[in-house]
Structure 1
Amino acid sequence: MNLKNVNIGIVGATGAVGVEALKLLAEINHPANNIHLFASERSKGKKVKYQNTELSVKTTSDDNFNKIDVALISVSSEISKELAPKIVKNGGVVIDDGSAYRMEKNVPLVVPEINEVDLNAHEGIVSIPNCTTTPLVMIIDALNSITKVSKVIVSTYQAVSGTGKEAVNELMNQQSGDKNTDVYDFPIANNVFPHVDDFLEDGFTKEEHKMINETKKILHDKDIEVIPTCVRVPVRIGHSESLSISVENDISVQQIINCLNNYSGIKVLIGTEEIPYPMPLFVEGEKEVFVGRIRKSINNTKEINLWLSCDNLIKGAAYNALQILESMIKKDLIKL
């Protein structure tokens, strides 16, 4: 099957992830007449530029909604729960960016570089991991090829675009002197919150639990220990993470660098004067996970420390969805 023949619906087309998904489809010259944009009632009729033409935003009540072969969904869990079963009932496949289906047993949670084979068991819905989980599991999977990873302590530095376009606007307004806090409880400009999503009774947040549970599911490793602290930072686009990784064997830094460099989707930055380490400013728009500051703990040779950055809207969301779609076509899992 040729991807160009697939009718693709982007649900949440005017949101941050939807915008990036459309850009990625333009990169591969997907035919405009095989793309359908859907959003809320307030966006109905909006014209969106696509290559040399314009696409009109529709609502999910439009007849075209029933003609979708594959839906890339990036909306709230409540809306996803409402729409995804309708698409599947009509014979379509859903690739969902939200948390609605991630931990359901019959829904594959996929990063194609790691567990593409899990797509074989799909029942119409495939889920994408949280944007902080994806780069984390890619690092772990790469290292697992040369030594067993048993524990990861991870601190995240998450851009406001992970919350949505309104949060980006709030940051930019506050940087211009606006005092309003409509999206977050506190000002985000010149500030950080050690708090992403709601707190739970154990002191961890929902976001941190996502990283713990999703890592175990994607890697099929119920024993791996993940200890996250998720932090929101005043950055527009690009999530970063600081990782401290416990491994089974004493491996050299050069072995680690070689291992990561040979892994699809990861790029190691060996310090240069121009870009000495990964930074959100330099990963925006890129598809890879960038890794740097690779070192071993001073008093523990079986503990690896590193830093990573990636575009949370690209590899953390839209590009991962497109990779899943391409994998499903390759495996003949989509029927037109």
Structure 2
Amino acid sequence: MRVAIIGVTGLVGGLILRVLEDRKFHIKELLAVSSALSLGKEIFYQDKKHILIDLEQAICLSPEIAFFTAKEEISKKWAPIFATRGSIVIDNSSAFRMISKIKLIVPEINAHILSKKDKIIANPNCSTIQLVIILHTLHKKYIINRVVISTYQSITGTGKKSIDQLIADSQGISTERIYPHPIYQNSLPQCDLLDEKGYTKEELKLIKETIKIMDVDSMKITATSVRIPVIGGHSESVNITFEKYFNLEDLKSLLSKTSGIRVQDDLLENHYPMPITSHDKDEVFVGRLRRDFSYEKAINAWIVADNLRKGAATNAVQIAEYLVENF
């Protein structure tokens, strides 16, 4: 299989290479696509040297699958061109996520809706993926009415330059700012641009993408997203209200038996999900599970995942695996 990775030198693009190798995804030919600044340079994959090429060259070589991990404007311009040439595009940007005819996929939840006609497939936002993995499992048994989310998101969600800013901030060095304030020893309750109602794009992604993936128009969701000085790993404090009464131990057991979820829930032993322990892992971790004492049909949960693995690269590769296995 001929596979292209657009944005291969970025955080997600580079990690897709690792995930493809980890999961032994069969690639006959790799097309490593980069920006003009890196053209002609070399990368190594499976002990082979690959020259970085541009989008025009990649199109001419007609990849069967094209992973897009570049900026939204690149996806908007080039993904449809690849699709019309026969490639299946798996796009990691927000360019196509809320377009009704384009599928927004988390394989454990809704891969079954994919068909041979789908030439552009959207990979959800990283904070959405780890959230819906938990919500989907619980909704099937207890029916969720309302979700209140507060996220504590790694700077890696905004790319390599955010790491440069964190390092520069910590050393008191002037550099290009990705954020409007210092991120070192700080937290910023503003992830992305604001809308007219005061919600940020990151918060709206959590709300709208969750509803689309789970196909639950009636579910009430609200969110606050915060950027914190952590390199890798998004954390979420989530309050979930159910229609049905639940037994807490049964609920924990249900989660622990679900593929892709790891329960870490022993506060007395200081055992709970953390970004540092979720790093470079593909599971979604959940803990601090406790009944909301203000309402017996609600629960509080703490959800953590590596935002670049399951939140981006792994989910994209799992979509590709499903396509290969089923079409």
TM over 0.5: yes
The TM-score with structure 1 as length reference comes to: 0.93
Equivalent residues, number: 327
Of 229, 233, 236, the match for 1:234: 229
Relative to 1, partners in 2 of residues 1:65 and 1:254: Cα closer, same or farther, differing over 3 Å?
farther
1:250 aligns with 2:242: no
Contact 2:67 2:89 (C-alpha < 8 Å) held by counterparts = yes
Cα deviation 1:243-276 (Å, max 9, x = unaligned)? 0000012212111111111222110013277761
Structure 2 CA distance for aligned equivalents of residues 122 and 200 of structure 1: 34
Contact 1:32 1:55 (C-alpha < 8 Å) held by counterparts = no
1:169 aligns with 2:167: no
| Counterpart residue number, 2:293 | 298
| Counterpart residue number, 1:133 | 128
1:213 aligns with 2:208: yes
| Counterpart residue number, 1:3 | none
Cα deviation 1:284-323 (Å, max 9, x = unaligned)? 1000000110001112111110101101011011100111
Contact 2:191 2:226 (C-alpha < 8 Å) held by counterparts = yes
Structure 2 CA distance for aligned equivalents of residues 219 and 64 of structure 1: 34
Structure 2 CA distance for aligned equivalents of residues 191 and 65 of structure 1: 47
| Counterpart residue number, 2:311 | 316
Structure 2 CA distance for aligned equivalents of residues 307 and 217 of structure 1: 23
Of 84, 94, 99, the match for 1:99: 94
Structure 1 CA distance for aligned equivalents of residues 270 and 51 of structure 2: 40
1:58 aligns with 2:53: yes
Which 5+ residue runs of structure 2 have no aligned equivalent? none
Which 5+ residue runs of structure 1 have no aligned equivalent? 1-5
Q: Supply the RMSD in Å over aligned alpha carbons.
A: 1.6
Structure 2 CA distance for aligned equivalents of residues 122 and 158 of structure 1: 35
| Counterpart residue number, 2:190 | 195
Of 54, 57, 67, the match for 1:72: 67
Cα deviation 1:190-234 (Å, max 9, x = unaligned)? 000100011111111111111111111101111111100010000
The TM-score with structure 2 as length reference comes to: 0.96
Structure 1 CA distance for aligned equivalents of residues 280 and 41 of structure 2: 24
Structure 2 CA distance for aligned equivalents of residues 219 and 156 of structure 1: 20
1:271 aligns with 2:266: yes
Contact 1:239 1:311 (C-alpha < 8 Å) held by counterparts = yes
Structure 2 CA distance for aligned equivalents of residues 192 and 285 of structure 1: 23
Contact 1:106 1:123 (C-alpha < 8 Å) held by counterparts = no
SS in 2 for 1:217: helix
Relative to 1, partners in 2 of residues 1:63 and 1:148: Cα closer, same or farther, differing over 3 Å?
closer
| Counterpart residue number, 2:322 | 327
Structure 2 CA distance for aligned equivalents of residues 65 and 15 of structure 1: 23
1:285 aligns with 2:280: yes
AA in 1 matched with 2:86 = G
